A and B are shown apart, each in its own frame.
Chain A
């Protein structure tokens, strides 16, 4: 017998995954090159895309951001509230949702590759390319800097995010081994 999908399973997944990204903020940040800390939270964002697929991954991040905007201090370091969306890194916060979307979509397209590689490529497209487009646009808007200059400033974050791209692939692969049915971007 095929287990019937429970009603509301999708909504529960979205909410719990959003909670998981919040919980990942507890893992102490690892200080990386140039003293810029890498938090595990944006790792969670890329994993959301891989684990839940593009749409649900996107919605999980949107839900988290919505609750953060309502005032819950759920971002790493206890940050939260509307300030997240008016500060210089607001573009990154909003970009997270689209990063999850792109990560999930790209990973889904790469069925023939090993999941670690597919998720890694997905995370690169979502977590670096897409995310930085939003991050840099946000920075330009809020600080009145030009494109070139904004890009230069943001570059310091890229090495840390590249590490996360690799980790996303490794984590996705490890979870897939343990619970193959749990990775929505893989057609079993």
Chain B
């Protein structure tokens, strides 16, 4: 989500460090009432994003069924207080993590974590190669998604049934061929340059 809210302007490193600190700080809390203000503050954080900010709370939806299941289980075995603590803590963490993701561009996030990857050089992985692999991944996700979509279409056009996992075979074969072509095209332009400035 592009934007100019105060949270957007906070450096990515600060947000990541805060997220980590909060997750550690919340761990020992065992009173449901202490967690409630934290949860409300988190929700207020979404409100600072500007119009439409609060709608982004729905990002948490995929986790909800699972959370309810755990809540029921926890309440049944350890009482409602433990259930509520657990529910609120996970909600806070998931909402905060989403908030960081929403307000930080991938580039900024990448720049913030690159220094942390530097020690990997010692085991022979240069950070610029990681950056290169990330770029390749971002580039080829839409290509392979388009391929998957067209395979699904062809499958349905021929009245394909529910055993859609069979599409994994042509998808794999295509991806392998694609990777051969890409490696060739990469070599034709001189491979990955050595880089220490990234």
Report the bound CA distance from A152 to B93 in whole Å. 24
Taking a contact as CB atoms under 8 Å apart, the answer to whether B59 and A175 are in contact is no
Closest CB-CB distance, A36 to chain B, in whole Å? 10
Known: A8-B191, A12-B136, A144-B86. 16 other contacts (CB 8 A): A6-B186, A8-B187, A13-B183, A18-B137, A20-B175, A24-B171, A63-B130, A71-B105, A72-B106, A74-B141, A77-B62, A81-B100, A83-B59, A83-B97, A143-B86, A174-B169
Is residue B34 contacting chain A, with contact meaning CB distance below 8 A?
no
Report the bound CA distance from A116 to B149 in whole Å. 27
Task: Name which of B2-10, B37-45, B159-167 contacts chain A.
Answer: B159-167
Is residue A159 contacting chain B, with contact meaning CB distance below 8 A?
no
For B84-118 the 0/1 string (1 means CB < 8 A from A) is 00100010011111101110111001100100000
Q: Which residues of B contact A64 (CB under 8 A)?
A: 137
Compute the total of residue contacts between A and B using a CB distance below 8 Å: 189
Taking a contact as CB atoms under 8 Å apart, the answer to whether B144 and A22 are in contact is yes
User: Footprint of A on B, CB under 8 Å?
Assistant: 19, 23, 59-60, 62-63, 66-67, 69-70, 73-74, 77, 82, 86, 90, 93-98, 100-102, 104-106, 109-110, 113, 129-130, 132-134, 136-138, 140-141, 143-145, 147-149, 152, 162, 164-165, 167-169, 171-173, 175-176, 178-180, 182-184, 186-187, 191-192
Taking a contact as CB atoms under 8 Å apart, the answer to whether B94 and A83 are in contact is yes
Q: Which residues of B contact A72 (CB under 8 A)?
A: 106, 138, 141
- Looking at chain A's contact residues, the main secondary structure is helix
For A6-28 the 0/1 string (1 means CB < 8 A from B) is 11110111111111101110111
